[in-house]
Chains A and B, each alone.
Chain A
């Protein structure tokens, strides 16, 4: 029966079948990857002398982490952090408020087609534009200061939250929503009773996550003049004040860890 097949196999080498079956394609891909990496590394212009000089400074920076200086520019750090925090909170709140209706509009199962297309367009635009680039434009339009940062982050929050909220609504349990509709409820009542309870826990979790992201982002907006701790950090690097820079970075890391811990607790609570 199978012994013919067995005899044929016995004594022959066994090799694992390849992931890509076509050998030409397989070798082509491998060769292509090698050529690409070689070209990419070849086009890398490195000033090794500058790098070796820099390593000393790099070591100074690492050492600065052992003795960060929170006090020398304490006032600047405090002001910058406060501004970052304010921008974070305000943009998250406004972002959530705007992204809820847009998220509803971007869910195909509850929005009519024209509304859906408009809302999806807004989401796509917000996601395609890098925060820093938006911030540059906002600074150019509204002038330096936290307002530009606030608008940038609110806009970025919309892209993030609306998309995930819309996906969540599209995945929801239709039976529950239908049951509410069957009671003869209005559209708003239907959203309130049939949709909201299903998506609320995740919305809260995502909002907390976005708060965390917004804080991290607000730390860099200062680099382009949109307010916050980034400007202080930039100055510290420009002056090679690595101890102050280390202090700021440590504060950012600690805050992010704290926010992550808090959002973990809140997410566990609402679910």
Chain B
């Protein structure tokens, strides 16, 4: 569904954030991207929808005949491609002074014209879909509340609804749990993974919490200094792998012991 080819990003300061990354994600796969701060995780997912302009390399979205290449697109075609990629952010990135409903509907901006969106006259089908999604994430009563009145977990649910109303093929998820407490983090991760399964979405999830990644994702990629150091299933992730990604440390308490995983 999503294929990266030799994706490279060099910042103007000369820092190489990504170094010829090759990656292929099939339909319906939820992939966790782990790695130390500054490894290029954020840059990688932002290069996919070109919020950060990649220096070189290719990004193919879609399967077979329908596949499109994103890095060479004009800005109007890029907007159309962005509709197919839902994004979920670390600090929720809701427009704080708009209502929950407006935030969810803003996911349809790529589909409606300027004046329709400015006057908040969305097609009825979009409005119904927004209500369905709010119901799915459990926030239907909150529809007319302002986004800054919600708690962190609730805000992230709105962020998820906004990404899904785009009707995307791929989800790009940037540290969804970084500012949440452990319980809410699990709920949010579970919700994202359930929704991906329901809709057969491919997803890249940047995540710091290795245990959470092991718990919810089918595949784990370890990134270090802009290069992929590990690519495998959660069960293959041992202390030695973590040491190559993050450096020397006592990893026993961090990861799920193999026997427990088997049980």
Q: How far apart are the CA atoms of A3 and B130 in the complex, in Å? A: 14
Residues B132 and A10 in contact, CB atoms below 8 Å apart: yes
Residues B135 and A16 in contact, CB atoms below 8 Å apart: no
- Interface size range of chain B in the complex: 10 to 19
Residues A16 and B131 in contact, CB atoms below 8 Å apart: no
Main secondary structure, interface of B, reads helix
Query: Chain A's nearest CB lies how many Å from the CB of B221?
Result: 37
Query: Chain B's nearest CB lies how many Å from the CB of A14?
Result: 5
Q: How far apart are the CA atoms of A123 and B128 in the complex, in Å? A: 59
**How many residues belonging to A are interface residues under a CB distance threshold of 8 Å?**
13
Say if the beta carbon of A11 comes within 8 Å of chain B. Answer: yes
Residues B140 and A6 in contact, CB atoms below 8 Å apart: yes
Question: Which of A2, A3, A11, A17 interacts with B99 by CB under 8 Å?
Answer: A17
Query: Chain A's nearest CB lies how many Å from the CB of B31?
Result: 32
Say if the beta carbon of B196 comes within 8 Å of chain A. Answer: no
Say if the beta carbon of A13 comes within 8 Å of chain B. Answer: yes
Residues B131 and A10 in contact, CB atoms below 8 Å apart: yes
Q: Please report which residues of chain A, range 1-39, place their CB below 8 angstroms from some CB of chain B when the two chains form the complex.
A: 2-3, 5-6, 9-17
Say if the beta carbon of B144 comes within 8 Å of chain A. Answer: yes
Q: Contact string, B122-146, partner A, CB cutoff 8 A, digits 1/0?
A: 1010011011100100101101100
Question: Which of B120, B124, B141 interacts with A5 by CB under 8 Å?
Answer: B141
Say if the beta carbon of B59 comes within 8 Å of chain A. Answer: no
Q: Which residues of A contact B135 (CB under 8 A)?
A: 2-3, 5-6
Residues B144 and A17 in contact, CB atoms below 8 Å apart: yes
Residues B144 and A9 in contact, CB atoms below 8 Å apart: no
Say if the beta carbon of B84 comes within 8 Å of chain A. Answer: no
- Given A3-B135, A9-B131, A14:B101 Cβ within 8 A: yes
Residues A14 and B141 in contact, CB atoms below 8 Å apart: no
Query: Chain B's nearest CB lies how many Å from the CB of A18?
Result: 11
Residues B140 and A5 in contact, CB atoms below 8 Å apart: yes
Question: Which of A6, A12, A14 interacts with B132 by CB under 8 Å?
Answer: A6
Q: Which residues of B contact A15 (CB under 8 A)?
A: 120
Question: Which of B102, B124, B141, B144 interacts with A11 by CB under 8 Å?
Answer: B124
Query: Chain A's nearest CB lies how many Å from the CB of B187?
Result: 17
Q: Which residues of A contact B140 (CB under 8 A)?
A: 2, 5-6, 9
Q: Contact string, B93-126, partner A, CB cutoff 8 A, digits 1/0?
A: 0000001011000000000000000001010100
Specify the chain B residue showing the minimal Cβ separation from A17.
Answer: B144
Chain A interface (Cβ within 8 Å of chain B)? Answer: 2-3, 5-6, 9-17
What are 23 of the A-B contact pairs (CB < 8 Å)? A2-B135, A2-B138, A2-B140, A3-B135, A5-B135, A5-B140, A6-B131, A9-B131, A9-B140, A9-B143, A10-B132, A11-B124, A11-B128, A13-B124, A13-B127, A14-B101, A14-B122, A14-B130, A14-B131, A15-B120, A16-B99, A16-B101, A16-B120
Chain B interface (Cβ within 8 Å of chain A)? Answer: 99, 101-102, 120, 122, 124, 127-128, 130-132, 135, 138, 140-141, 143-144
